[in-house]
Amino acid sequence: MKKGQASITGFIITIVLIITVVSLFYTQFSLLLVKDSEYVDIRGDSEHVASVLVSEGFPKEWNTENVKKVGLLDGEKISLAKLTEFSSINYSTSKKLLGIRYDYMLFIEKDGKKQIVPGANKDFIGWNGYIETDRGNGGYPFESFFRIINQNAEHIAKNEKFIYIEDAVIDKAYAKLIIFTWDPVPGLDGMNTQCVDGIDNDGDLLIDWDDPGCDKDNPFDDDESNPPFDLGCRYVSGACDANETPIINISVGVSQHAALANSSAVVYPNKICCGWNRYINVSMNNDVCDNDPEYTTLVKLDNTENAHIQRSDESGYENKICMKGEWSSLDCAYEDPVCTDGRTCVFSMSADTNAHIGKCSDYNRKLCCRLDETDVLAELRS
């Protein structure tokens, strides 16, 4: 190749490289501008929500039937009545009334604590799916939900407004209206899983977060069917699963001793674990076991660790483990050699008192328990 031709080729290559670099820079800069612009829009929605709500709305004494413009003020203070009305408005409708396109949620903070929305029993208002049921029946926890949004949203904006709110004692109290807006989160935006679709998918007359089949710690839960209502107790070497409750700790080797599950003095590697934990509650507090009629004493220990055990109807041992069904009655009995009447084995014991504990296959004497499924659903539906 001649020298002149080589110079021209080198010049062309240089020009192509410069154009490529400039093009890449322009593309990245444009994407950055788009992202920054989107954040500005999200921030604008947050500020707009604050300015709309810190007004009286229209008509002045609006309700869900006649509202044209939402606003929470009554004079100079937030009206609890209007706050309750606003919390009952369908989420998509509330976005239209607010005039925003991004997702949002808001809450009132007074004395550094998030306030429950009066009359609605909710601790925040906003994004649908986790607020349509009241907290008492398993509405999605604010902290868990917000953690998901905070970790997954590309942009999130926060706006705070200092406000007065109605107070029964001093007429009005100083508080903050806190508003978050964010861009759609993949998998959450427009989500229509069984646990947020407003349908009784498993036919038990319970819907979404009111249904024990929906796991409120899993926003992507797409199975409303109920877990088995048996206790599902098992002998475990290691830790219980997240959905199980530890009942009692057990030592290694033969002639095993017991320890309370909450004892830290002795670390026993084996455990009796029962689940689902949303169906049961276990206590190792003697006052609870003795005085709360909803609890059934399962077993007694002669010490908090390195202990022998005895049946609950025997006398002499002072350390008790008791259990109740969260939505149902708990039916327990000591049986020999097998469990009957739908009860399942929790653990076995070598004698009625001064006994060693073991897995269900170790001894003939067994503690057998069951939850009443009919009881569970009836209580939830009431």
Over residues 194-219, the mean pLDDT reads: 73
pLDDT value at residue 333: 95
Contacts of 11 (CB under 8 A, 6+ apart): none
Distance of alpha carbon 320 from the chain centroid = 30
Compute the distance between CA of residue 208 and CA of residue 197 in angstroms, rounded to an integer: 7
Extract the runs of DSSP E, i.e. beta strands, from 47-170: 73-74, 77-78, 103-110, 113-114, 125-126, 156-167
Over residues 88-117, the mean pLDDT reads: 85
Let me know: does 177 contact 61? Beta carbons within 8 Å: no
- Which has more pLDDT, 306 or 215? 306
Q: For residue 181, is pLDDT > 60?
A: yes
- Which has more pLDDT, 278 or 87? 87
What does the pLDDT look like over 355-382, one tens digit per residue?
Answer: 999 999 999 999 999 887 665 555 555 5
For 106, phi then psi, to 5°, come to -150, 160
Q: For residue 134, is pLDDT > 50?
A: no
pTM of the model: 0.50
Compute the distance between CA of residue 376 and CA of residue 371 in angstroms, rounded to an integer: 8
Q: For residue 195, is pLDDT > 80?
A: no
Q: For residue 41, is pLDDT > 80?
A: yes
SS3 379: helix
- Which has more pLDDT, 183 or 178? 178
333 bridge partner residues:
368
Let me know: does 138 contact 209? Beta carbons within 8 Å: yes
163 bridge partner residues:
175
Q: For residue 335, is pLDDT > 60?
A: yes
Q: How confident is the model at residue 91 (pLDDT cuts 50, 70, 90)?
A: confident
Taking all residues of the chain, what is their mean pLDDT, rounded to a whole number? 80
Say what angle helices 91-98 and 3-53 make with each other, to 10 degrees: 100
The domain locations on the chain are 12-182, 234-381
Q: How confident is the model at residue 133 (pLDDT cuts 50, 70, 90)?
A: very low
Compute the distance between CA of residue 206 and CA of residue 167 in angstroms, rounded to an integer: 36
Three-state SS letters, 325-343: ECCCCEEEEEECCCCCCCC
Q: For residue 170, is pLDDT > 50?
A: yes
Structure-token pair, residue 360: 């269900």
pLDDT value at residue 328: 75
What is the β-pairing status of strands 258-260 and 244-250?
A: antiparallel
User: What is the rounded radius of gyration, in angstroms, for the C-alpha atoms of the chain?
Assistant: 30
Q: For residue 29, is pLDDT > 50?
A: no
Cis ω for the linkage preceding 337 (within 30 of 0): yes
Q: For residue 85, is pLDDT > 80?
A: yes
Extract the runs of DSSP E, i.e. beta strands, from the chain: 73-74, 77-78, 103-110, 113-114, 125-126, 156-167, 171-182, 234-237, 244-250, 258-260, 270-275, 280-283, 296-301, 309-310, 319-325, 330-335, 344-349, 357-358, 365-371
